[in-house]
Amino acid sequence: MSTIADFVERYTAVWNETDPGLRSKQIRELWEPDGHYANASAEYRGHERIAAAVTEAHDDFVANGFEFTVHAYQINHDAVRITWHMVPAGGGEVLAVGTEFIVVDAAGAIVSDYQFMDVDPTVP
């Protein structure tokens, strides 16, 4: 991993990327080929399945005028914790807050990524 700040920037960019081809390329660059991503509703393994999960989030949120921003991050050996906010793209109130707990390999590629929703926009 070059730097933690670079990793976090690249990770967040994947979720905000509007071009599906570039988004898939970024996923291949960040995740191990057999990498794992899990949210509260499902688990995804491999680049194609992870790309499908990211595309679903994009279609639900980014395509509807929201973006994901980094609030805080930490690294502890081979683990990275990122706290993110979902906000209107033009700025405004935080609508969702989540935490990613990511395990990387020696080269800095994502082995596992676990998403936790701290404030969920779908729960009243």
Which residue ranges make up each domain of the chain? 4-119
| Listed residue (115, 114, 108, 113) closest to 86, CA to CA | 115
Q: Domain 4-119 - what CATH class?
A: alpha beta
Q: What is the pLDDT, as a whole number, of residue 124?
A: 62
The predicted model gives 7-31 an average pLDDT of 97
The predicted model gives 72-87 an average pLDDT of 97
Q: What is the pLDDT of residues 20-57, one digit of tens each?
A: 999 999 999 999 999 999 999 999 999 999 999 999 99
Q: How far apart are CA 33 and CA 22, in angstroms?
A: 17
Residue 109 has pLDDT above 60, yes or no: yes
Q: What is the pLDDT, as a whole number, of residue 119?
A: 78
